[in-house]
Amino acid sequence: MTHEISDGQQLYLNRRKKHRQIVQISRFAIFLSFLFLWEFSANVGLIDSFIFSSPSKVALSCSQMLLDGTLLVHIGVTLYETILSFVLVILVSMISAVILWCSSKIAEIIDPYLVVLNSLPKSALAPLLIVWLGATPTTIIVTGMSVAVFGSILSIYTGFTTVDTEDIKLIYTLRGTKGQALRKVVLPSSVPTIISTMKVNIGLCLVGVIIGEFLAAKRGLGYLIIYSSQVYKMDWLLMSIVLLCIMAIGLYAVIGLFERRYQR
Amino acid sequence: MQPLLELKNICYSYHTPTLETPAIANLSFALYPGEFLAVVGPSGCGKSTLLSIICGLLNPEKGLIMLNGRYLHSDSSSNIGYMLQHDHLFEWRTIFQNVTLGLEIQHTLCNRTKAHAEELLECYGLKAFKNARPSELSGGMRQRAALIRTLVLDPELLLLDEPFSSLDYQTRLSVGDDIGQILRKEKKSAILVTHDLSEAISLADRIIVLTKRPATIQSVVPVSFALADDTPMHRRNAPEFKTYFNQIWEALNHDA
């Protein structure tokens, strides 16, 4: 379609474009000036580069560890544990939420337990899990799950219960069963809730996995952080944190992609 | 003639821990095949409850319901269509998938019923929107799609629960006219619940006026117009319309 753009519309579009540009440039400028300040003050001795490291040292240790292959192993282990615990959390919480929705009696009985487990600081469970399950990747995956799973069950179940009761009534007026109400109405209309729960969960699983790796790992970025802090290799420590940032962004982006695909 | 539907001494109450609210008390009436019955009453008098009971979504505490001479139980399968206040078309389904939802649920979706659905869509001017999403349709078109979703199941009785109340006035008149004529053409027996007196008069063969809660019958008004072309629009312009309106208005305010 080709039609004239009025002056008013053009002005609006220009303003909008300018606004976007300012936002983008400012974001980038903050990032660059932070890197520059860090590097500069480490170089001239304003801060002790042994404790605070510097961007160039972080980059250097990153490339060294990439070359000897150890870094990819650490990243891979953490990524694998996070994704596995995330998938398990989604599975467990979907199944639990469906059971709770099907029986309001069970939901009412279980409710206080879920609330307590959800508000419990899950890092307190990690030492317990190590004793029970040993210092194995299983422990780390279960720790990752424990951080996210209770909140996830509660949010998805709440999402199920807030589905329009009249929409469900429609299924019953068409002589549908409760199972059909679940499949035709409750699940499809809860997709946005499920996706937003997934967005929260992926971050929480990463938190849980890092806690687990602090305590019970020989590999992974969490292990690398603890190890490097104990031997004062601050370059490694800061590198691990930077890598965790990148990993979190990447995982979040994957779910964002999934969300956009659903919305189309 | 044997009535299609017969209600005998229906009672229903709502319960809360502190209170029992009787909604319907000792209500009896009959509906004959092909008849269009309207039920009017003060708001909150238990009109929707009545439809839920007839449809089998709620069980009456006392009383009996007979459909075609057989007693209705909660587990007996009856072919009653129910049109709710809002269209409840699902955005994640196309119009065609929405219209065939009932067939899908009753496991009767086959080529024959699909063709029937297509026919109805074409007949009521929605063919071009078959693959559209509900949000692309106007309020009136959505309500027509909701009606087709009910009609495609070929119900022997249709329950309409204020199906036009969510529409703006202009759309409401034209959709009311529209749906009234569709139902006459398909020769459906129907019970319309409404608080809009003019809607009831323009559509019904007989009007039951209910009292305040607990609902029981205040009076029954047979409606007939001496019109060659008896459509809801023509009825609204007929001289009898005002007489009926006043008669029902008085019945409604009788106990107030």
Q: Would you state the pLDDT for residue A58?
A: 92
Instruction: Say yes or no for a CB contact (<8 Å) between B88 and A166.
Output: yes
Residues of chain B in contact with residue A191, where contact means CB-CB under 8 angstroms, are: 92
Max distance between CA atoms of chain A, in angstroms, equals: 78
Whether B71 shows a pLDDT value over 90: the answer reads no
A166, A172, A174: residue with CB nearest B101:
A174
pLDDT band for B77, please (50, 70, 90 cuts).
low
Which whole number is the average pLDDT over A116-124? Answer: 90
A173, A184, A185: residue with CB nearest B57? A173
Quote the minimal CA–CA distance from A65 to chain B in Å.
49
Q: What is the pLDDT of residue A72?
A: 93
Q: How far is A179 from chain B (nearest CA, A)?
A: 10
Residue from B155, B187, B6 nearest B77 by CA: B155
Which residues on B lie below 8 Å from A171 (Cβ)?
A: 105
Q: Between chains, do A166 and B85 touch, taking CB under 8 Å as contact?
A: yes
Q: How far off is chain A from B180, nearest CA to CA, in Å?
A: 21
User: What residues does B160 pair with on adjacent strands?
Assistant: B83, B192
Q: Is B182 on the interface with A (CB under 8 A)?
A: no
Mean pLDDT of A147-170: 94
Q: What is the predicted pLDDT for the residue at A206?
A: 95
Could B90 and A166 be called an inter-chain contact, meaning their C-beta atoms sit closer than 8 Å?
no
pLDDT for res B211: 87
Q: Do A166 and B77 touch (CB under 8 A)?
A: no
pLDDT at position B232 is: 85
- H helix and E strand count, chain A: 13, 0
pLDDT surpassing 70 at residue A1: no
Note the pLDDT of residue B76.
Answer: 57
Q: Give residue B214's pLDDT.
A: 85
Q: Is the pLDDT of residue A183 over 90?
A: yes
* Mean pLDDT, all residues of chain B: 87
**Rounded Cα gap, residues A107 and A93, in angstroms:** 13
How far is A86 from chain B, CA to nearest CA, in Å? Answer: 26
Chain A neighbors of B59, CB-CB under 8 A? none
Q: Mind listing the pLDDT tens digit for each residue in B183-215?
A: 888 788 999 998 889 889 988 999 999 988 888
Render the burial of A105-138: b for 16+ CB within 10 Å, e for the rest.
Answer: eebeebeeebeebeeeebbebbeebbeebeeebe
pLDDT at A224 over 70: yes
- Of all residues in chain B, the percent with pLDDT exceeding 70 is 97
Closest partner residue to B55 among A166, A173, A191, by Cβ? A173
* Out of A172, A189, A191, closest to residue B57 by CB: A172
* SS3 category, B148: helix
Which residues 49-68 of B have a C-beta within 8 angstroms of A? 55, 57
**CB under 8 Å to B132, separation ≥6 — which residues?**
B94, B95
Q: Does domain A56-263 correspond to CATH entry 1.10.3720.10?
A: yes
- pLDDT for residue A38: 94
pLDDT over 90 at B73, yes or no: no
- Contact residues of A toward B, CB < 8 A: 164, 166-167, 169-176, 180, 184-185, 188-189, 191
- Work out the average pLDDT over B155-179: 84
Is B25 part of the contact surface with chain A (CB cutoff 8 Å)?
Answer: no
Residue of B80, B101, B157 to mutate, testing the A interface (most A Cβ within 10 Å of its Cβ): B101
Nearest neighbour of A173 by CB, restricted to B84, B92, B104: B84
Q: Who among B77, B84, B106 is closest to A170 (CB)?
A: B84
Output the CA torsion B56→B57→B59→B65 (10° steps).
Answer: -20
Name the residue with higher pLDDT: B231 or A142. Answer: A142
B101 to A185: CB separation less than 8 angstroms, yes or no:
no
Which pLDDT band, with edges at 50, 70 and 90, does B1 fall under? Answer: confident
Check CB contact under 8 Å for A170 and B85. Answer: no
Helices (H) and strands (E) in chain B, counts: 9, 10
Rounded Cα distance between B76 and A30, Å, is 70
Contact indicator for B177, B231 with CB cutoff of 8 Å:
yes
- Give B213 or B161, the one with higher predicted confidence: B161
The whole-number average pLDDT for the span B63-84 is 79
B105-144 residues touching A, CB cutoff 8 A: 105-106
**Quick one: tokens of B63?**
């009383």
Q: Write down the pLDDT at residue A17.
A: 95
Whether B105 and A166 lie within 8 Å, measured CB to CB: no
Closest Cα in chain B to A167:
B88
**Per-residue model confidence (pLDDT) at position A159:** 95
| Gap from B175 CA to chain A (nearest CA, Å) | 21
Q: Average pLDDT of A169-195? A: 93
Residue-level pLDDT at A182: 95
> CA gyration radius for chain B?
18
pLDDT category of residue A264 using cuts at 50, 70 and 90: low
| A167 vs B contacts (CB less than 8 Å) | 88, 90
Rounded to an integer, what distance in angstroms lies between the CA atom of residue A211 and that of residue A147?
10
Would you state the pLDDT for residue A150?
A: 94
Report residue A47 as tokens: 């801060």
- Asked if A173 lies within 8 A of B92 by C-beta distance, the reply is no
Portion 148-167 of B in contact with A at CB < 8 A: 149, 153
User: Is the model's pLDDT at B128 over the cut of 90?
Assistant: yes
Query: Can you tell me the distance from the alpha carbon of A138 to that of A123, in angstroms, rounded to the nearest whole number?
Result: 16
Alpha-carbon distance of A48 to A41, in angstroms, equals 9
Q: What is the pLDDT of residue A230?
A: 93
- The pTM assigned to this predicted structure is 0.85
Would you say residue A201 has pLDDT above 70?
yes
A and B: number of Cβ contacts within 8 A: 40
Per-residue pLDDT band for B74 (boundaries 50, 70, 90) equals low
Residue A99 has pLDDT above 60, yes or no: yes
Q: Is the pLDDT of residue B255 over 70?
A: no
